[in-house]
Amino acid sequence: MFAHIITVNSKFFHSYQPIFLITRMIGLNPLVYQKTSKSYNLKWSWSFYICGCVVVTFFIIFAFYGLWVFLNENRQSCTSNYFAIYDFCELEMFGFYFVLSQAFCFKMTLSVLEGFDRIDSVIPPVNPKSDRKCTLVFGTVVTCAFLFGMGFDRFTDNKDLDKVPLKEYPFYPFYVIMFGFQMSYWQLVFFVERRMKLLNRMLERCVQKSGDDDEVVFKVIKAHGHIHDVCDRINSLFNVKVSLVILSCFLRLVTDLYMLYAAIRKSGNVAYGLMQLLWISIHLGRLGIILEMCHRCERENQVTFNLIFPFFNGTYTGRDQERAQRINCDFSTFFQLKNFALKLTQKKLRFSSFAIPRINRSLLTTIISTITTFLIIFIQFSSA
């Protein structure tokens, strides 16, 4: 399995490369690539994987030792001990799992990349430079926001680096892994959304014109099938991990909102309150990275259905010929589009993960309502 080599076209790789290189440095994509005349070959790299596992194992041991020291030094402070244990179980263990599981995800990763290459072989990307620019801008914005948040957190929490608890040193590297994973997920879903937009533009031109449209319709139907396959593979590849990230964001939002409430009510520390507001914004942004792009893909899929909805009207009758003429469409093209409309009702493009059937904006409403419930419970317990 690890000897398998996947070939992708150069246009796709140039768009994929920026975030791929960032995530590879933190142990999430241990692949090496080799350029050929018009494509790139990707294959597994044991050196990158072993190096990533060694580094993340060192940090997890360091984090465990720092937690042990912190608990021994703060035996009387139950609240801070609970938060320290929570940080270790949630952040450090998740990051360790993300890096270690790369060997088990290799086959599915190559399958996703191969799926994108199949899509591009049917409908080549029109503007890959724009895709690359978007990934570069996104990666830069996320990295800068992350660095600013980490710097402000460190400055506000403790200005003297000599007094920083040992348990907090691995905290930031593991957050880098979490952000890198989310950037990788965003990138693949973004590529799906861009190809859905291109497919919809082709389909719209096909519906509006008649003549030599059979070939275009065939390409659209075939490309949509490949896009649906890629979507299913992305769901399989990131199945449990996306659920863990969403769970992490949910728990962090609950705890940070409660700590903000406690800071306002008791200490009145403005800097600490600003730090909690910053963390709340970061975790909302983490949710937005996942939910918004998945929602945009669902919206593009709905656009596809709306474009061919006039062709979906019961069984085939003699009136199909008249309706095809009325919307200025060749009858054979009309027949293919009607079949495509029937398939769309059975195959819906949506992103999901373990225990989450649909990942879109509606999930944010559910999360916020649940956070409100938990927050009210915590406030009542603290007031009792």
Report how far residue 286's alpha carbon sits from residue 3's, in angstroms, rounded to the nearest whole number: 35
pLDDT for residue 164: 57
- What whole-number distance in Å separates Cα of residue 222 and Cα of residue 119? 8
DSSP string, 248-316: HHHHHHHHHHHHHHHIIIII--HHHHHHHHHHHHHHHHHHHHHHHHHHHHHHHHHHHHHHHGGG-SSS-
**Two tokens, residue 180:** 């890198």
Instruction: Give 167 or 346, the one with higher predicted confidence.
Output: 346
Please tell me the predicted confidence (pLDDT) of residue 321.
53
Q: Tell whether the model's pLDDT for residue 80 goes beyond 70.
A: no
Helix (DSSP H) and strand (DSSP E) numbers for the chain: 13, 3
Q: How do residues 251-291 score in pLDDT, each as one tens digit?
A: 889 888 888 887 777 766 777 788 888 889 999 999 999 99
Residues 6+ apart with CB under 8 A from 32: 42, 43, 44, 45, 48
Quick check: 166 and 65 in contact, CB under 8 A?
Answer: yes
Q: Which pLDDT score is estimated for 156?
A: 74
d(CA 359, CA 218): 30
* Long-range Cβ contacts of 312-317 (<8 Å, 24+ apart): 312/338, 312/341, 312/342, 312/345
To the nearest 10°, the Cα dihedral for 301, 307, 313, 319?
-160
Closest CA to 208 of 310, 78, 119: 310
Residues in the chain, overall count: 384
* Tens digit of each residue's pLDDT (9 = 90 or more) over 15-58: 999 999 999 999 999 999 999 888 899 999 999 999 999 999 99
Q: Are 327 and 310 within 8 A, CB to CB?
A: yes
| Whether pLDDT at 316 is above 50 | no
More confident residue, 132 or 79: 132
Q: What is the pLDDT of residues 130-171, one digit of tens each?
A: 999 999 999 899 888 888 888 887 777 665 555 556 667 778
Q: Is 327 helix (H, G, I), strand (E, B) or coil?
A: coil
